Structure 1
């Protein structure tokens, strides 16, 4: 008799592949995803590919994919995250569980966000990532915004000079993509793609998309923060390259070009490293730090910020 999900015990964390040893992101498109024992299968016109479920960090389901309940169940047992995305992950649509089993990154984000001083510290660190030669120490938020605005304007002018594409000003009308000239359409398309990439990574790490350090008041504030880290380095230069090639269909061409650039640069892994570096305590190595994501570690909060083991009754035994 075939073993059903209901009869199988869930894998313990010690039985699972360490997150550090998994494929960070596995992307599938135009296929049907099934389950075969403890592997998932991707079936398309060319045949069937088996992928060990425990070796997946985050499964990105692109256009044309269908996935069965059995496949989702084994991915859940193995602690893999699942996200439904656009072609080559350039748009984020929805997600399943987070990749991590730990709340450490989410708690670090909430702790840094809840304190006005540390929230500003993270904002300054974000600006330093974007503009390494900029000294942000002691700058107020208003000064940071002013510096950022100046640097972005300088970037537009520099890319216009480099590519020969005429630049007037940034034009974007929500809901009317074609209202801007070709270079503005390309910039908008690149930004939308970067939002999808950032949202995928933020969701996979279990962080809150809403708790931003530069942006505020929106459900995707932190996503916008992360996407902006790569605006002047990747998004804007690529948009000007696309506009310089041709005025025809700047949106689709930008998305395809950015998709290829993301893979060339390994941007997904870089996003993970940058988020850890921004949120983890000082001294932690963002390249190697694993936030206990392969361990089920549940505690109870007690007084004076103490954590005590769960699964224990702390009541007066005489009262029970």
Structure 2
């Protein structure tokens, strides 16, 4: 009988680490199938082959059809899959984790479950975003106020740098066209960053819903991670694109952000930041797909933190 620990997917050794992948690939008006270990995208220009193991996030635009075999291949490769609207980007589904270990998820759950350590992680996230400030001792309300002030300052700074008239942040959920061009650009950049962050969170085997700043949403932790790079990458790219032209701004933001993310090796940095946030202060390092790519480890929990080998029945008379 096949067990979850012996699932018939490609092993992590056969896959490209999430930190080494392309950030995302956008496809629209195409039919997507699977062929061997690649997906094929057929459109009016012909057929393109894309190795699934090298993609971080696949953005599926309007007019896209995808087969069950392609979804299965992408899922086994740990690829984030995002269905994209005509203007914005919204995350709907993702693949399996590249890591076969639950260690990062367990570390995240322990930090999240304790209000003190949950606040400490939120402070550490603020330090990553704004290293020139010390958030030690700050309450959650104080952190939110400091973050809000810094983001507003970033908007004004980028508007001045790019020569854009900025009237403030205005976004109506589900109505991309309601904002002016700079706001549309910021929205498109933000949603792209959410998709990228979720693909990394999923690939590392973390729990998307357990956030340290955001709460109450199935992607709270992904939103936390995406915001780490908002003022450094997302907002500047959005204003630069809006300053060039207001035409087709959503698609142009996606392309510009893709190039910037690739040039700055953001996926590699994002992986490193997630691990640092969840394992800082631990005596032992947590294994991931880079450390132990060979096989799954499914074990049984016992008393006093002891773990037992799985795959056999343990009767009461068995002495451990």
Q: Following TM superposition, by how much is the alpha carbon of 1:296 offset from its aligned partner in structure 2, in angstroms?
A: 0.9
Q: Which residue of 1 aligns with 2:80?
A: 83
Tell me whether 1:219 sits opposite 2:218 in the alignment: yes
Q: Which residue of 2 aligns with 1:276?
A: 275
- After superposition, the C-alpha distances for 1:161-197 in whole angstroms (9 at most, x for unaligned) are 2122122221112222222222122111111111111
SS of the residue aligned with 2:34?
A: strand
SS of the residue aligned with 1:154?
A: helix
More relative contact order in 1 or in 2 (CA 8 Å, sep 6+)?
2
| Kept in 1: contact 2:19–2:267 (CA 8 A) | no
SS of the residue aligned with 2:93?
A: strand
Q: Which residue of 1 aligns with 2:142?
A: 143
SS of the residue aligned with 1:300?
A: strand
SS of the residue aligned with 1:92?
A: coil
Paired residues for 1:96-245 under 5 Å: 96-245=95-244
**Distance change >3 Å, CA 213–CA 176, structure 1 → 2:** same
- After superposition, the C-alpha distances for 1:33-62 in whole angstroms (9 at most, x for unaligned) are 4344xx4464756667585x7x65867474
**Distance change >3 Å, CA 165–CA 13, structure 1 → 2:** closer
Q: Which whole-Å CA distance do the structure 2 matches of 1:19 and 1:134 have between them?
A: 36
| Segment of structure 1 superposing worse, 137-146 or 207-216 | 137-146
Q: Which whole-Å CA distance do the structure 2 matches of 1:48 and 1:160 have between them?
A: 39
Q: Which whole-Å CA distance do the structure 2 matches of 1:296 and 1:156 have between them?
A: 46
Q: Which whole-Å CA distance do the structure 2 matches of 1:22 and 1:242 have between them?
A: 26
Q: Which residue of 2 aligns with 1:3?
A: none
Q: Following TM superposition, by how much is the alpha carbon of 1:289 offset from its aligned partner in structure 2, in angstroms?
A: 8.0
Tell me whether 1:298 sits opposite 2:295 in the alignment: no
Aligned length: 301
Q: Following TM superposition, by how much is the alpha carbon of 1:14 offset from its aligned partner in structure 2, in angstroms?
A: 8.1
**Distance change >3 Å, CA 98–CA 49, structure 1 → 2:** same
Q: Following TM superposition, by how much is the alpha carbon of 1:128 offset from its aligned partner in structure 2, in angstroms?
A: 0.9
Q: Following TM superposition, by how much is the alpha carbon of 1:108 offset from its aligned partner in structure 2, in angstroms?
A: 1.2
Instruction: Name the TM-score, length of structure 1 as normaliser.
Output: 0.79
Q: Which whole-Å CA distance do the structure 2 matches of 1:12 and 1:158 have between them?
A: 48
Q: Following TM superposition, by how much is the alpha carbon of 1:250 offset from its aligned partner in structure 2, in angstroms?
A: 2.9
Q: Following TM superposition, by how much is the alpha carbon of 1:211 offset from its aligned partner in structure 2, in angstroms?
A: 0.4
**Root mean square deviation, CA, Å:** 3.5
Instruction: Name the TM-score, length of structure 2 as normaliser.
Output: 0.79
Q: Following TM superposition, by how much is the alpha carbon of 1:307 offset from its aligned partner in structure 2, in angstroms?
A: 1.6
**Distance change >3 Å, CA 310–CA 58, structure 1 → 2:** farther
SS of the residue aligned with 1:121?
A: helix
SS of the residue aligned with 1:155?
A: helix
Q: Which residue of 2 aligns with 1:5?
A: none
**Distance change >3 Å, CA 80–CA 15, structure 1 → 2:** closer
Q: Which whole-Å CA distance do the structure 2 matches of 1:227 and 1:11 have between them?
A: 32
Structure 1, gaps ≥5 residues long: 1-8
| Segment of structure 1 superposing worse, 291-300 or 184-193 | 291-300
- Look at both structures and tell me which one has the larger radius of gyration over its CA atoms: 1
